Chain A
């Protein structure tokens, strides 16, 4: 890792055995495959496990399936700022600590990363099984591109 390359952590959330909930893991797999310098890619099934990751990276990007108003496959980007995060995904995994709660808990403990960006892919089908629904599958590359652009923009911004 060259000294002037800033570090980024990319985390895909969700359960790959629950249909569209697997989109986070799939997007992160694509990002990891690009083998970008200074980028660490990780899949976590539960948002609460983000709290075990130290916020040393200059940029943390979290990718997750979201329930949204637009259409399945729509990719949204949210830069976490001073405003409290409203419920992001509408679900809390299996143990009721959702991504919004994790972010706000980190904020209360002064543990937010220097920069935190949430990339959401609107999803609709959460049946048991490993297949992403067609609109969500079609959005994977777009979401991966969004993540890569965020990481690369961070790296040139000195």
Chain B
């Protein structure tokens, strides 16, 4: 990250932390329409399910296929597993140390082992769901276009209940823990973009809405979102057409869907001091904790309501067409688009991950944030900027203290 300070004011902030998956897009050309779920799952080791879900929806859209309610419910359960795992990892191992004044989770674990164990228990619960539904805990092999190779049995799902009940308790304890943190007074007038479904909190299906009143289906994503290449990095900054930068992720989801949280999650949010919307990125840790409660609650509901009726997948026959899919990855909206030829060979692929979409806003945040903290040493400024970036739970490809901050003071 490069900051240029001139005459006591921040002249420029340039951030190079994320490389969009353009090589994966190129790699997908010439592959079969059945392959994106497996191939794109490798883009992110923490959210493979998100890539599988968005790619399945996009391929199914191209082929004119809608899955059954049972398949959708099972996808939602699988996604609950991933949200639990991803949010627990971020809250406990990456973000909480910042608020408690520890350089990393390691030092935090030395003084608060029970707290970290709670987080790891949550992570493992998410993992357990993914193993039962996805077929393997880390890279779900049970997912295919059209649904799943097999459904879990009622017994396999019921066996998850004790783990999920413990996880729900742990999630509620997480909200209590993080609600007590000190949050800098920092609000930004973001435009939020998230999904909204026919009912429930958005995860595996729905259309796209924004806080300024936009509403469009996945198929119109390209009409509303443009990606512009930014000179100083490999990044493509995503912008809503004719508008400023926007934000996706827990804060956007929460602000646009807080009315759709389960009663228990709603109660936890209120007790944590959250109103119907949240525009302080530092409070994202509280929103993630509330989403942990939501995901655990939802997982229990899905397990209890599961009847296992119908086939685990619907047949998907390729045709020459372009298809679009959006789902809510733990980090935010994830868009896939595939163009197929008549025998299902992929002609073109576009993948817009949540971290890509947040890049412009992260930079804008840092610009404001750094402006008020110019008197800090470069070391302290670096630490605080890392914390500010972690608000977005970005996908990055470097080590824990990843911010190489250079400050030019002229």
A residues lining the B interface (CB < 8 Å): 15-18, 43-46, 48-49, 51-52, 87, 90-98, 101, 104-105, 108-110, 127-129
Contact = CB atoms under 8 A, between A and B. Distances in A.
25 contacts: A15-B45, A17-B42, A18-B42, A46-B45, A46-B46, A49-B138, A51-B124, A52-B120, A87-B399, A92-B396, A92-B402, A94-B46, A94-B396, A94-B397, A95-B89, A96-B94, A98-B399, A101-B106, A101-B400, A105-B106, A108-B109, A108-B116, A109-B120, A128-B26, A129-B23
Nearest to B44: A94
B336 interface: no
Given A52-B124, A95-B396, A105 B109 contact: yes
Contact of B42 (A16, A44, A98): A16
Nearest to A48: B89
Nearest to B22: A128
- Nearest 7 pairs of A and B residues by beta carbon: A128-B23, A46-B45, A45-B45, A108-B109, A17-B42, A108-B110, A92-B399
A17 B43 CA distance: 8
B395 A94 contact: yes
Given A49-B127, A128-B26, 11 more contacts: A15-B42, A16-B42, A43-B138, A43-B139, A46-B45, A46-B138, A96-B398, A96-B399, A105-B109, A109-B109, A109-B117
Contact of A109 (B27, B107, B116, B400): B116
Nearest to A15: B42
B23 A48 contact: no
Contacts of A43: 138-139
A67 to B, nearest CB: 11
B396 A96 contact: yes
Nearest to B131: A52
Contact of B127 (A52, A95, A128): A52
A45 B139 contact: yes
B137 interface: yes
Interface string B113-134: 1001100100110010000000
Nearest to A16: B42
Contacts of A108: 106-107, 109-110, 113, 116
Given A52-B127, A129-B27, A98 B44 contact: no
B27 A97 contact: no
A18 to B, nearest CB: 8
Contacts of A91: 397-399
